[in-house]
């Protein structure tokens, strides 16, 4: 998913959510010019350990980066997902949201579901990329267990 194709402004968030900064953070990660903190800060509150609804679409972008960008971008994207997993919670008041299609989305359930859908691709990558193998196995193990704290 191209981060430029997402209407980040249409996704609700708290007053400090800056949707205009999201595409730039993902573009920097794709170009191997960023660290995970930038992603965690634009679609969540890294200091408070909370996720904004944009983390759902952000998960799709991270999974695409994992699939298409070996090396540092893949490693960072995996680390962001693992940093979130079970440690971050939705921003209070934004546990669910109405997406642009009018559907109610549970932030955590949607992230878990997206990673589950990507499991086959992630397993193939793990077989081919020894540098990502352990992180992918950890992520898939966490996905099977659910979002436990």
> What does the pLDDT look like over 108-122, one tens digit per residue?
999 999 999 999 999
Tell me the β-bridge partners of 8.
none
What are the start-end ranges of the H helices in the chain?
22-30, 36-42, 54-68, 72-84, 107-117, 119-128, 130-145
Share of the chain above pLDDT 70, in %: 96
Total domains in the fold of the chain? 1
- pLDDT, one tens digit per residue, over 65-104 is 999 999 999 999 999 999 999 899 999 999 999 988 899 9
Q: Which domain holds residue 28?
A: 3-145
Assign 128 a pLDDT band (cuts: 50, 70, 90).
Answer: very high
């Amino acid at each position: 998913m191209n981060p430029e194709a997402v209407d980040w402004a249409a996704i609700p968030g708290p007053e400090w959510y800056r949707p205009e900064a999201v595409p730039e953070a993902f573009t920097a990660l794709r170009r191997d010019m960023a660290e995970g903190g930038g992603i965690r800060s634009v679609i969540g509150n890294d200091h408070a350990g909370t996720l904004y609804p944009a983390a759902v679409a952000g998960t799709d972008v991270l999974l695409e980066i994992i699939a298409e960008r070996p090396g540092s971008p893949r490693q960072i994207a995996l680390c962001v997902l693992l940093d979130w997993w079970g440690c971050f919670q939705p921003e209070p008041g934004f546990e669910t949201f109405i997406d642009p299609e009018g559907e109610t989305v549970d932030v955590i359930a949607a992230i878990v579901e997206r990673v589950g859908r990507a499991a086959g691709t992630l397993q193939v990558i793990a077989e081919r990329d020894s540098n990502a193998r352990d992180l992918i196995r950890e992520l898939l193990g966490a996905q099977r267990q659910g979002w436990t704290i």
